[in-house]
A and B are shown apart, each in its own frame.
Chain A
């Protein structure tokens, strides 16, 4: 069982002192040393350039205001690959988990695990953005720059924002996690508000490459528990990794899904293969000397990211889609950042545009309604 995270040190920016979330977090970290700093940006710059000996950014929590945007489009790259037009809500930056393939290792220039405490500003921005396109369905996620639930026990994010989303049914918030920290979702019924989704992988990859995350079975059982409470869930097989024995590994994971998860409660399953900015490889291998995931046959993709050779991706996807179709022929499967050619080859059809893909997923949300499920029947 993954243990709830507690930082070694908390850095509090002066401007963040008076925000309720700051007090909330500090109350939940008794005994953790707190360092007050004048300016978070200066602190980040200093530690980025010259980290003091023994500094561990993943164990150092920075509470500060976000002076930039909270909501942004998922950085889908290049026109050559289909993107689902997902929106990212930045509640913070960095993640206490230590997945060897995590893009944040190369993407962020902030070494701290950072939480943005000006939550009202976040909701205000969200409201203004939603008003710009009244009534348009918006799929939003918080799991891009941070695991959505890894710090939930410190932040109380879920109950704090549930009311906002409940009043705006056209905004859907997907909480994406590799943990089993679902206590706040068990305590309250937010099944009409959130989609809970888990990143899944083969057991071998979960064990070897996802340090700090919950075991595969714990993730699936956490999903099952929430389904029984009426929640809708999603799964993300991303990144698929072509390790020796991947067929058995991924097949076993799908078998676990089949055993425990009623397919009609699954809003969507995304599939993607390992892809990375070229510089990530050296950063990740320096951080984890034993990982071998970057020794696959990667070539530069049309967006400049390294991807498995297309024929390897086709093999991975074809098998996965086949097993998932056996699990449920009706489940909404989609590729994250794949070409229309790959879609066509594996799924037999490709969304005609990014907008088309977005609408497919929006429709999945509508068809997998909260009321359509009777947990008792499933048991």
Chain B
């Protein structure tokens, strides 16, 4: 495809027409410095829908913004024939970008949405999904498109990396009010990938369990107050909110942990000794850890542990796993 090169005045380009712009959430500072130093090395690609209409940007939206910021009046541009179809122009815009950078999830979603306006679903799946490094399946396409429905601030968080794609997809399944409430909470906290998933799962489970809206879960249990506490930093707020949610979600597990902790306090194992319950209080295998730096120390602490094991408090400690449900077994019934 031969596209003639022309000199075009920037004032003749309609920068507000983003029909073919596939870039979202990218800065232009570095590009602007580059153009200031070396000029515009790569010409823009433009399209003029009618002979006397303003040019529409096809490739080089960021270059256009940078050039305008630098006060450049005219640039070299390749100008597509007015008869060129929209599918061809969009393909050019995408190929121009895909050749040298990875699209963020929001750009991918919007690109696919635009492609669907020009091409059949099968063409988008088979020809374009692999170009974005995605598996060519309807499921993948549907998943990507969900991001298009997100509010601008949610998309911005996804692009900025403070929200994972998995979390954004999860949020996309919520109603608007719930989504914005949950998103607002997440933005106040410092959440790693795993903690984002944990928080969303917890809020979803509580809402489902108690048959309330997600935003009602957030409004309850003192979460809002915890976030508003000016004495806490984001990390502290995060831990507090996680603890509140976990206590609500797993009240009996939490109670079992508390019982164990209380029994442990009564036992008062000496320094260098740790007694641990079965993981998740499943089964009956406890663990004892001894820290030591010499054989003498090991012998001394092992002796302390053995002494502790003979105390009533130790029996209570072991009995605490599953004690709330304890039903007298036959032996106990006989004793009774």
Contact = CB atoms under 8 A, between A and B. Distances in A.
A51 B138 contact: yes
Q: Summarize B's interface: helix, strand, loop or mixed.
A: helix
A297 B253 CA distance: 7
A292 interface: yes
Interface residues of A, number: 29
A310 B278 CA distance: 11
Contacts of A345: 322, 326-327, 329
A301 B281 contact: no
A310 B282 CA distance: 6
Interface in A343-368: 344-346, 348-349
B280 interface: yes
Interface stretch (A2-10, A134-142, A229-237, A312-320): A312-320
A50 B137 contact: yes
A341 B252 CA distance: 19
B325 A295 contact: no
Interface in A308-345: 309-312, 314-315, 318, 339, 341, 344-345
A307 interface: yes
Interface of B: 125, 135, 137-139, 205-206, 208-209, 211, 249-253, 256, 279-284, 321-327, 329-331
B325 A312 contact: yes
Contacts of B280: 299-301, 309
A311 B324 contact: yes
A190 interface: no
Given A311-B324, A318-B325, A297 B209 contact: no
Contacts of B249: 297
A311 B209 contact: no
B253 A49 contact: no
9 contacts: A292-B209, A297-B249, A299-B281, A309-B250, A310-B281, A311-B322, A312-B325, A314-B325, A315-B325
A239 B198 CA distance: 26
A288 to B, nearest CB: 11
A294 B206 CA distance: 11
Given A297-B251, A310-B282, 9 more contacts: A51-B138, A53-B138, A295-B209, A297-B249, A297-B252, A299-B281, A299-B282, A314-B322, A314-B325
A61 B137 CA distance: 23
